[in-house]
Chain A
């Protein structure tokens, strides 16, 4: 069989995730301390797991409504009213998806026609550009800069807008940089977009993980709710990655079309997870606070530690990553990560895996215990002693 001629050219052209090769390398080694994971180290809060167990014992696990259980959609609407002061109609404006990932997928597929340009703020999570390409769209990266603390500026946005621009992917709080966008930053972006037909895909999956400042959503600004598809989910906030549950919210005409894709591809999101998610939204605020407090201790520890050993690092106010510069070593991100892995058995993720503008940085996750982080910092500081840091 000549699979090359059989498989879709479009899929074959797709680059595998930039961290794949690195992942394979790390997997062959023993005793590696990893700081490379993008999911919480906490267990899903017990009351959520208990709810799932009860549901398994007592109910038939059947499909739900395509858009998700109406009770869950109502709970999501309540939650959004409380957290970002924005009303969504549970009946017509919310779809419960298989993780935030599916929400991103159907949002992009639902909007993009061949040749449409999609602006992707970078560095960012790895899935946006490949999904745009699958939809025959053209991903256009907007590179954010360390000196702006990786926030998107109005000028950077304006410079990339063309008549073909269909959508802006706005991923804040940001993976991998930990950057957030505050109200005034978003206001400047909104100012550029108002009066255009450009839509926003606001990926707010890390909205609960902000430190010292409350998350602010672009939908809270005048005129933005109507042009925004809001994506969020349960994975990060409630430590529920494996439950595969997220959601998107958008005006009715948008949801009406997107739900068709969801219906044909997914039917409905996992039923047990949906029941559990209701419990999460209704009764787990304290658990979220506890986890965020713990993340914050780790975050402060790492920022101080990296700056001390010479890997300068802006103060990230969101998500659970720090994004230190490796400039002091003179290495590329990939060379740094490979050497660090080989010499000190510490795995971090090269910044360029999240877009070219991530070159010169590495992503360090603090979804690990303090003990684990301290051991890793110790090893990294030995590494820098040999490779040009000031440690």
Chain B
């Protein structure tokens, strides 16, 4: 991945001027490059990484493993693209290994998520089984420590 994308992945709020300095480019070049990346769909969006507890979010989140029967001619895409239309679904990925699709689902309560799984997902044609795991605590997200600051063990000044 190029340096620009790496920098944005780490901190999408860097200004074009800051990025330009870091990359040894002009602001205009950086602006153009970002625009191109957005146009091409390489960059799909920008978001904030929250400590949900401090943000007083009451949402619950679950990881859901789904085993499904692939549809003839469409494989897993068809069912995955149907499932991703639900607002409750934060992410969905096709997996290798013991199950097929991995979902993260958010809801206002355990019950709400459980109902979504049992009434919507399980009932869907082609879904063979589901396993729901609720997230209890998040320690690190997208490379960032959620609760603790990374400690610098080095002494403050050394020659």
Partners in one complex: yes
The distance from the CB of A315 to the nearest CB of chain B, in whole angstroms, is 10
The distance from the CB of B9 to the nearest CB of chain A, in whole angstroms, is 12
| 8 A Cβ contacts from B2-31 to A | 3, 7, 10-11, 18, 21-24
By beta carbon, the residue of chain B nearest A304 is B21
Say yes or no for B159: interface residue by CB 8 A criterion: yes
Contacts of B156 in A (CB 8 A): 23, 26-27, 32, 34, 36-37, 347
- Interface range on chain B: under 10, 10 to 19, 20 to 34, or 35 or more? 10 to 19
By beta carbon, the residue of chain A nearest B21 is A304
Say yes or no for A335: interface residue by CB 8 A criterion: no
B23 engages A17 (CB within 8 Å) = no
- Interface range on chain A: under 10, 10 to 19, 20 to 34, or 35 or more? 20 to 34
Compute how far the CA of A126 lies from the CA of B158 in the bound complex, rounded to whole angstroms.
10
B10 engages A41 (CB within 8 Å) = no
Contacts of A19 in B (CB 8 A): 157-159
Say yes or no for B152: interface residue by CB 8 A criterion: yes
Say yes or no for B154: interface residue by CB 8 A criterion: yes
B155 engages A37 (CB within 8 Å) = yes
The distance from the CB of B49 to the nearest CB of chain A, in whole angstroms, is 13
A301 engages B155 (CB within 8 Å) = no
A300 engages B18 (CB within 8 Å) = no
The distance from the CB of A325 to the nearest CB of chain B, in whole angstroms, is 19
The distance from the CB of B117 to the nearest CB of chain A, in whole angstroms, is 38
Say yes or no for A38: interface residue by CB 8 A criterion: yes
The distance from the CB of A306 to the nearest CB of chain B, in whole angstroms, is 11
A22 engages B157 (CB within 8 Å) = yes
Compute how far the CA of A37 lies from the CA of B158 in the bound complex, rounded to whole angstroms.
5
B10 engages A293 (CB within 8 Å) = no
Contacts of A349 in B (CB 8 A): 157, 159
Compute how far the CA of A27 lies from the CA of B154 in the bound complex, rounded to whole angstroms.
12
Contacts of A297 in B (CB 8 A): 3, 7, 22-23
Question: Which residues of A come within 8 Å of B, CB atoms?
Answer: 17, 19, 22-23, 26-27, 32, 34, 36-39, 41, 125-127, 175, 293, 297-298, 300-301, 303-305, 347, 349, 353-354, 370-371, 374
8 cross-chain pairs, A with B, having the tightest CB-CB distances, nearest first: A36-B157, A304-B21, A34-B156, A297-B22, A23-B157, A301-B22, A126-B159, A37-B154
